Chains A and B, each alone.
Chain A
Amino acid sequence: MVGAAVPADDGARLWAVLESVPDPELPVLSIVDLGIVRSADARSRRVAITPTYTGCPATQVIQASVRAALDGAGFADVEIVTELAPAWTSDWISAGGREKLRAYGIASPTSRGVRAALCPQCGSPDTVEVSRFGSTPCKAQWRCTACAEPFDLFKCH
């Protein structure tokens, strides 16, 4: 309905729906935690998402999951647009998202340009890189020399 008033809490409800959409590769994180949702506006009926990596196969799955979640919550008329610029960066992962990653066994990127990681199991900084590439484009493989556990590191990007 053109010109219909948007309920005041629609914006909050829209964000809540988006927060319920998990990342297909990292199900403990929502796409909001990951910083994939760039904007969500209930008034203009528009949600903007950005891909994490140019070749990330999850991008299409995410688009489909967002569509399904919006449709299911009565936001069928909300448009999803893909924004390439500014480019996504791992700096956009929220503090809450980083904690969820750690609890899941994935270390978060440290300062830009520093190749280091805290073991998500025991917290030790005595860790070594095993492989710069891992099971998905966003992860590298590391090992803790203190507790000897292997772990994934979310790459600084």
Chain B
Amino acid sequence: MPSLPPIRPQDEARARALKTGEGEHGFDAPTEETNASALFDYALRLGDDALILGQRLGEWTGRCPSVEVDLSIANFALDLVGQATYFLGYAGKVEGKGRDGDALAFHRDVLDYRNCLLVEQPNGDFAQTMARQLLFSTWQKMLFERLVISSDALIASVAAKAVKEVAYHEELAAEWVVRLGDGTEESHRRMADGIAWNWRFVPELFDRDEIDSAITSQGIGADVASFREAYDARIGAVLAEATLDRPTDQRPILGGRRGHHSEHLGHILSEMQFLPRAYPDAKW
């Protein structure tokens, strides 16, 4: 079994800077090698975020508190897997080694996945799932709003399409956070726990490394720092309406973008990839 990649000193430093808000927190300098593969990596990040969250949400199908919620979550998952199909298909094309979207989804192992840690976290109860959805969809919507003007035609057109879908996700998640937060004593406690559980994975969404640097300088990607303030304001407003306190910042956890995942991702993949791995030539 391959061992996990080591935690690099620069990641440690970045985590410290993110927590204190001090120090030099910016881009790593891009190298020529990273420029060459940056678009592939960036498309993987966009695709893996969508694929893993889509798969996670699929676990709720048939188990939601009501049929309306069941439909909503299944639709979120459908939208996200649709986004993943485009981004991973594109990543395969950019890579140019004959891998298509399915090959990237079903025949990559944990260490090669590039999703953020937030999307692979367990569903927990319904409150924890909706808390994760709010934190992720708010970020994804702001990102896609900026990717609409990407210099990369495929990324721009998928973002333009998906941003309208993600707006629905963000809105519905915010409504549930408010409804449960400002609900009964128990629903309030559960939503507070759900937000608290997911909170430590938010800083990673705003982390920037050499891939971001290369991709942003080419006008392909969006600088996540440009909407950090807007994100904090929006989440703050939803939490306030939900009568929830903003959790205190803990030490941020990073690593997903480099393949350094939590134990949860392996379990997701073992289920998601079972069929294509057991029967590699299976066709519908």
Which of B75, B80, B162, B172: most chain A Cβ within 10 A? B75
Contact present for B71 and A53 (CB under 8 Å): no
Proximity string of chain A (123-157) to chain B, C-beta cutoff 8 Å, 1 when within and 0 when not: 00000001111110100010000000000000101
Contact A133 B75 (CB under 8 A): yes
Instruction: Looking at the assembled complex, report how far the CB atom of A75 sits from the nearest CB atom of chain B, in whole angstroms.
Output: 27
A130 touches B68 (CB 8 A): yes
What are the 10 closest A-B residue pairs judged by CB atoms, nearest first?
A55-B82, A54-B82, A131-B68, A85-B157, A84-B157, A55-B78, A87-B161, A133-B72, A133-B75, A87-B160
Are B164's CB and A85's CB within 8 A? no
Please classify how large the interface on chain B is, using the bins under 10, 10 to 19, 20 to 34, 35 or more: 20 to 34
Decide if A6 is an interface residue (CB 8 Å cutoff). Answer: no
| Cβ–Cβ < 8 Å partners of A134 in chain B | 71
The answer to the question of A95 belonging to the interface, with a C-beta cut-off of 8 Å to chain B, is no
A88 to B72, CA, bound (A): 21
B interface residues with partner A (beta carbon < 8 Å): 68, 71-72, 74-75, 78-83, 85-86, 153-154, 156-158, 160-162, 164-165, 168, 171-172
Q: A130-B68, A131-B71 are in contact. Are A55 and B80 (CB under 8 A)?
A: yes
Q: Is the CB of A87 within 8 A of B164?
A: yes
A interface bracket (residues with beta carbon within 8 Å of B): 20 to 34
A55: contacting residue among B79, B153, B154, B171, CB under 8 A? B79
B158 cross-chain contacts in A, Cβ below 8 A: 54, 84
- Check A133–B68 contact: CB distance below 8 A: yes
Q: Which residues of A contact B160 (CB under 8 A)?
A: 85-87
- Chain B residues with Cβ below 8 Å from A57 are 78
List, sorted by A's number, 28 A–B pairs whose CB atoms are closer than 8 Å.
A53-B79, A53-B82, A53-B161, A53-B165, A54-B79, A54-B85, A54-B158, A54-B165, A55-B79, A55-B80, A55-B82, A84-B154, A84-B161, A87-B157, A87-B160, A87-B161, A87-B164, A131-B68, A132-B72, A132-B172, A133-B68, A133-B71, A133-B72, A133-B74, A133-B168, A134-B71, A137-B75, A141-B71
